[in-house]
Amino acid sequence: MRSEKKRRTLNYKLAVMPKANKTLQNMLETALLNSGALEKAADREESIYGSDDSFRLLNDPKQHRGMFFGKLMLWEKNQSHSAITIDKSAKSYAIRTVQPSDLQKQSNAQAQKEEFLESMLHFGVLDNHLVIMSSPSLTARQLETHLTWLLGTKSNHLPHGGIFSLSDKPTTATRRKLEESPARKVSFGAPITAITPDEEMTKSSSSNSVKSIQFVPAGITGELISAIFKNLGAPVPKLDDALDEANLKLKLEVTYLRQTTKTGQQFLDEFSTSMRHAHEDDVVVELANGTKLKGKDLKLSTNINVQFNNGAIDENDMYHAMHDWLTRLISEEEIE
């Protein structure tokens, strides 16, 4: 067996549910464990992107050392993967497409249908405290959205009309700085990227070849640009390139000149909170006394070395690390 340690990042989040009379841990355990209404996996599949082809699922729920643990998984129905053949004597490595049906042929013709996983996020919950090990495709933002659907729309564990969010907790040092001086300016800046929408990929019926390819701004920066142009009554620019090397960046800044009102300060503070899911390099908060806090200062995170065996993560090792870090944060009063 091949064993190795890999470095992974854990992030802390606090579940905020102002109208709830139960903790997040209690809700999840009631719904998913001990013959709960959503104990069966098929009953908690969430169809996403407005189609019946892409799904999210909170899988393998369990209790471990007094915490609730689970995995948020993402997959697309009948999605194929590419595989290469490593032939050291070849001039080029061969590429083949592997279908989900190929997996079933290799294992058991009578087995249940199999699909390729696109991504997976691991998390643990203690009361309303969360520890998250995210992936590029599944982050705290997607977990927040899924839990809102799972505990609200799907099972009614969240109070009707109640708010559910996963908030960050600044470090003790950052909290002291925020107590000494309120926020004066919040800046958000992210690269501008562009993609080709499906509707732009028009094909000629005679030649069956691509007639034209155009790109439009994408992601959160693309949404902001689209909103600005819509308000101006102008069309969103369409480009001939994907902007991969354009080095363009959109910057959004909220500030005041000499002074602001109590309501203005409240808006500034809430705007800072709304940036909780942005990348840590994209957010800067400047305090009234001139101190600058970057996104990483507004979040609690740590790096751990996790055991992998034959390429698969050792879940017990990971859960131990999650439990130990969270309980240490509590004992050291970094969180309450």
What is the pTM for the complete model shown? Answer: 0.73
151 with 16, same domain: the answer is yes
The proportion of the chain whose per-residue pLDDT surpasses 70, expressed as a percent, equals 81
Of 27-36, 60-69, 269-278, the range with the lowest mean pLDDT is: 269-278
159 with 64, same domain: the answer is yes
Average pLDDT score over the chain: 81
Does residue 336 sit within a domain? no
259 with 182, same domain: the answer is yes
229 with 320, same domain: the answer is no
Of 3-17, 103-117, 206-220, 277-291, the range with the lowest mean pLDDT is: 206-220
What is the reported pLDDT for 114?
83
Of 36-45, 52-61, 138-147, 260-269, the range with the lowest mean pLDDT is: 260-269
Does residue 119 sit within a domain? yes
201 with 262, same domain: the answer is no
Does residue 150 sit within a domain? yes
156 with 16, same domain: the answer is yes
What total of structural domains would you count in the chain?
A: 4
202-211: average pLDDT: 39
What is the reported pLDDT for 106?
59
pLDDT, tens digit, for every residue of 221-232?
A: 677 777 777 777
What is the reported pLDDT for 108?
56
62 with 120, same domain: the answer is yes
Question: Is residue 104 exposed (0-12), middle (13-18) or buried (19+ Cβ within 10 Å)?
Answer: middle
Nearest to 297 by CA among 210, 173, 167, 149: 173
Q: What distances in angstroms separate CA 193 from CA 85, 223, 243, one per listed residue?
A: 33, 11, 6
Of 109-118, 215-224, 307-316, the range with the lowest mean pLDDT is: 215-224
What is the reported pLDDT for 47?
92
pLDDT, tens digit, for every residue of 177-188?
A: 877 887 788 887
Query: Which domain, by its residues, includes 94?
Result: 80-114
274 with 289, same domain: the answer is yes
320 with 290, same domain: the answer is no
120 with 154, same domain: the answer is yes
